[in-house]
Structure 1
Amino acid sequence: MSWKFSSLTRWPTAAKPLAAALGTAVLGLALVACSEKAAAPAPAASPQADASAPVRGGQLVVALRAEPAQLNPLVDQGSGAHSVRPALDSLVWDNGDGSYAPWLAERWEVSDDASTYVFHLRKDVKFHDGTPLNAAAVKANFDYVLDPANKSTGSTAKLKPVATVVDEFTLSVKLATPESSFLTLIAAPYFGILSKAQLENDPKSLATRLIGTGPFKFDNWVKGQSLTYVRNDDYNWAPAKFHRGAAYVDSIKYVFLPEDQTRYNALTTKEAHVVDYIPPEYAKQTKASADYQTQEFLLPGVGYSLHLNTRRPPFDQREIRQALLHGLNRAEIVASATFGAYPAQEYLASTTPDFAKDLKNKISYDPELANGLLDKAGWSQRDADGYRVKDGRRLSSFVPYADNDQLAQRTLEQVQIDARKLGFEIKLQPVTDLPERLYNGNYGLLGSFQSEATGMQLWRLYGSDNISDGSTVGSNASFLRIPELDEVLAKARASGKSEDRAKYYAQAQEILPEHAPSVPLYSRARLVAIQKNVHGVAWDNAWPQPYLFDAWIAQP
């Protein structure tokens, strides 16, 4: 059976004001409903739900595409987010339908301007090292990302959160700038709560092992091969939609298989129980097969895009950026590179909350317009190879990509072919230092993929205050300042009402094609295949990925 998850609803408006009893730190806050709701992507029934009673025991083997460079999610939200969740719980659970359920926090309040959040914590939770979860422990996590010495690149760090202990189990968090998406951000595994003792007494160890409150404890990391967790038998605080008590399986072993063919072979040979990111060339046959269960999610956020470095010629000229935006046949590039498995997207994926469904300024494929723009910019002559030239220089740029990323290579080869038709030379550079390129600006174009279930991604990737300035590390890979965009993004992030937020994010999506800081290509459909004897695999909506707490393995 194949599940296709294709939509997320908008966040609800904050409810009535809470009667103040917590002092000045929480005055004027509005109580946010946190009652349990069914997660939107989960179907009413599934092959897993039809199984008999869960069986305890066994090791669940999960094949992943990428090994993290290090484990500490508070430093790099992309590096380990797909492999640290077993050990880390979050303050809230993202239901995927615009609502949130209690997890480590029993309830919370949000100020009308979305700048202050107050969390009331459970009183029965302990970290794997035996220390208690309390307000001081959670504050230590916010303090860690706030400290510039830790060089956190995560979304939470961008908000400069200042945490204050109200009482032993109550914490107030004040953001430097309002953020209506904050609950989604802290629901993700890259802000899973870590032990205060580890953060303060042994921070260097965070790179190689994690001490959290999760249903599994860190066991062993064999670099280049696998990462293993063992069950936390004391666990009894999962979100309400999951079973009570400890996990079913004894352990989880992630194996790192970056080669698409090798990862797919792990499915067919049954060497892995769960295989994440089924390669697009095998998507159709895997979903059609009766041998596997599949779950598919069209990832929200900003999909795979080519960010154009405006600090380097020729992308310092708007006409050049617009020419590439309209001169590449994005639909054909995506269809060819992904074997038809992924859709081309606008500046946000259609599954992102606040995606503008009635978008008027859509990206059109118009080679006549593109060629006219290049002529207008002064690149009207061509050399013997057909490339445009001006003042003896060829219209040329370069794009680095990870040397083991086959999908990126296929995509960029198609981009290169299309660009050549325009007379634009794009050179491909396979590299091993791709993550560092964002920070040192050593690229002309940079392909990146950012999945996050919030329209805040537009601010992270295109906001002026996310441009690296030498003292801070930014995620605005085009280095482009767009004042009118900054204005509407600020309004969106401070909007307490979902309809206001949607209006402002829609305006942002209308503005972006005019400035063309990047060329959006595709939304990634994350296809997960599961062996038929595995049951209870759920979905973590905040950072879309399989959630394995309920998983169990049926006996042959």
Structure 2
Amino acid sequence: MLILSTILFGCANNKEEVVSSEEKSEKNMLTFAWPRDIGEMNPHVYNPSQLFAQSMVYEPLVSYQEGGELKPHLAESWEISEDGKEYTFHLREGVKFSDGTSFNAEVVKKNFDTVLNHLDMHSWLGFLSKINSTEVVDEYTFKLTLTEAYYPTIQELAVVRPVRFLGEAGFPEDGDTSKGVVEPVGTGPWVLEDYKVDEYAVFKRNEEYWGELPKEEKITVKVIPDAETRVLAFEKGEIDLLYGEGTISLDAFKQLESTENYESSISEPVATRQLVINSKKEQLSDEKVRQALHYAFNKEALVEGVTSGYEEKADYILPTNLPYTKDNGATVIDYDVEKAKSLLDEAGWTLSEGETVREKDGQPLEFELMYDSAEQIQKTMAEVIQSEWAAIGVKLNIVGVELTEQVQRFKDNEFDVNFFSNYGTPYDPHTFLNIVASEGFGFNEAISAYPNKAEILKQIAEVPQTTDEAQRQQLYTSILTSIQEQGALIPISYIKKTAIYQKDVTNFTFPANRDEHPFTNISMK
């Protein structure tokens, strides 16, 4: 759901789009490029609404900060009952929507109830299906009651959609926002001022914002679908900032960075690029085979060569800057070709003299790696891994497919090996484990050969209901270690975000929440 796909067509060059440097200076404006239209700016729906734009206008009760810390936002504080079922939120007083109306418990309940009326759209977000009731206690106190304890509730409230808050004026007459909103009225630091579909959007600073006012008066988003055109516009000075996953290739980023004409930033890891190995397949059902595959490619050289060092070799299946992931007991696997060969020998896969592919019981050690044909990094990594595994007697066939086919084949368990990356902040680790446990996502099937699969699934089910912090950490450590040790998931690299910006842009910082906008502290000299 977080992967950006770009649509190729030319960039219009009209007077509305082009903002001169003089205009930018006069209006204290930052210009930002994005590959697609911002969408309808509805806080309660998904594509085509763009996450970064939604987060500029609509705010959460709690915010996700560095290291997974959850901090008050529109809720100043909250209490959780001892049984983990009741959440009482004390709302921030004096907050206004951009039209001047008050933010209070009534409008919080209206937004929650609107989302809950279309639960089928939002079933992926775990806590929503567990809500038993929503209650206005008083003007600034709101209570959620769940059917069962679910510790990720606070963390899930920090996601960009669908539980952010639209003002009364934004609701259609029947209250059903699933069909659209009247106008994008939020409490956030930005207000949509001007908009032309597929061309641009201009956000002005919300002068009545309850928090610290942004330093910039306006943010202009230019819609430039073609990646090369975005880079050219940046080099011409028409764009101040290129940021976001997929908005600029690593090659283009490296080239721009090398000129020293611009400023650049690279984020902390936001996700792990992984190989998912389907242990349901006969040739991959032996743990020793899966472990051999992990030992048999030079991960550090691969990551350095393919990403020019902008990604980082991954030792674990989740980045260790996510909650509950620091205490990972999994063994770090280093490149060791002889170890890989030895494990395959022990598993009964032998390489006869003069042959290039190992066999067992007359069957060759041959399988397929599927990758997204539009993803150059996946393609190049697949080619390198194919070559390195060939050196230990493994025949790897690589096939590029459209993203939709890759996702569907993964879900349908029609794969041998597949590329995957986890969702990152603020979703993991609990969302990642939820899909591991769920049938029809590929992971449940991938760990089929694990002798302790039933115990792993039992522990995953226990985690959300655990109210004791120490016990929760112990469960996460046990689950993540066990999944990785048995080799169905092989971490490759930690994915990072990149940003390149003009030298007059200052105070750029990456948001802790992968989906939030990056404009909180940014300013122009």
- The one of 427, 436, 441 equivalent to 2:398 is 427
Query: Post-superposition shift, 1:89?
Result: 1.3
C-alpha spacing 1:457/1:384, structure 2 compared with 1 (3 Å): farther
2:417 paired residue number = 445
Contact 2:275 2:417 in 1 (8 A): yes
1:276 partner amino acid: Y
1:164 paired residue number = 134
**Unmatched 5+ residue regions in structure 2?**
1-23
2:489 paired residue number = 518
2:238 paired residue number = 271
1:380-399 alignment runs, 5 A limit:
380=350, 386-389=356-359, 394-399=364-369
1:43 paired residue number = none
CA distance in 1, matches of 2:472, 2:312: 25
CA distance in 1, matches of 2:195, 2:460: 43
CA distance in 1, matches of 2:446, 2:48: 19
CA distance in 2, matches of 1:65, 1:382: 52
C-alpha spacing 1:359/1:475, structure 2 compared with 1 (3 Å): closer
C-alpha spacing 1:201/1:146, structure 2 compared with 1 (3 Å): closer
1:249 lines up with 2:217 in the alignment: yes
Query: Post-superposition shift, 1:373?
Result: 4.2
- The one of 201, 209, 215 equivalent to 1:236 is 209
1:46 paired residue number = none
1:342 paired residue number = 311
1:327 lines up with 2:296 in the alignment: yes
SS at match of 2:180: helix
**Unmatched 5+ residue regions in structure 1?**
1-53
Task: Tell me whether 442-451 or 280-289 shows the greater mean CA deviation.
Answer: 280-289
CA distance in 2, matches of 1:547, 1:217: 16
CA distance in 2, matches of 1:91, 1:533: 34
- The one of 412, 415, 428 equivalent to 1:457 is 428
- In the alignment of these two chains, the number of paired residues is 487
SS at match of 2:310: coil
1:193 lines up with 2:168 in the alignment: no
Query: Post-superposition shift, 1:71?
Result: 7.0
C-alpha spacing 1:358/1:98, structure 2 compared with 1 (3 Å): closer
C-alpha spacing 1:185/1:286, structure 2 compared with 1 (3 Å): farther
C-alpha spacing 1:464/1:247, structure 2 compared with 1 (3 Å): closer
1:292-311 alignment runs, 5 A limit:
292-300=262-270, 302-311=271-280
- The one of 322, 343, 353 equivalent to 1:352 is 322
Query: Post-superposition shift, 1:107?
Result: 2.0
Identity level (%): 22
SS at match of 1:299: strand
1:273 partner amino acid: D
1:213 paired residue number = 187
CA distance in 2, matches of 1:69, 1:427: 36
SS at match of 2:386: helix
1:446 partner amino acid: N
**RMSD (Å), alpha carbons:** 4.2
- The one of 80, 86, 102 equivalent to 1:110 is 80
1:203 partner amino acid: S
C-alpha spacing 1:459/1:374, structure 2 compared with 1 (3 Å): farther
Q: TM-score, normalised by structure 2?
A: 0.76
Q: TM-score, normalised by structure 1?
A: 0.72
SS at match of 2:332: coil
Larger Rg: 2
Task: Tell me whether 340-349 or 385-394 shows the greater mean CA deviation.
Answer: 385-394
CA distance in 2, matches of 1:162, 1:525: 38
Contact 2:114 2:176 in 1 (8 A): no
Task: Tell me whether 306-315 or 523-532 shows the greater mean CA deviation.
Answer: 306-315
SS at match of 2:223: strand
C-alpha spacing 1:258/1:427, structure 2 compared with 1 (3 Å): farther
Contact 1:380 1:389 in 2 (8 A): yes
1:4 paired residue number = none
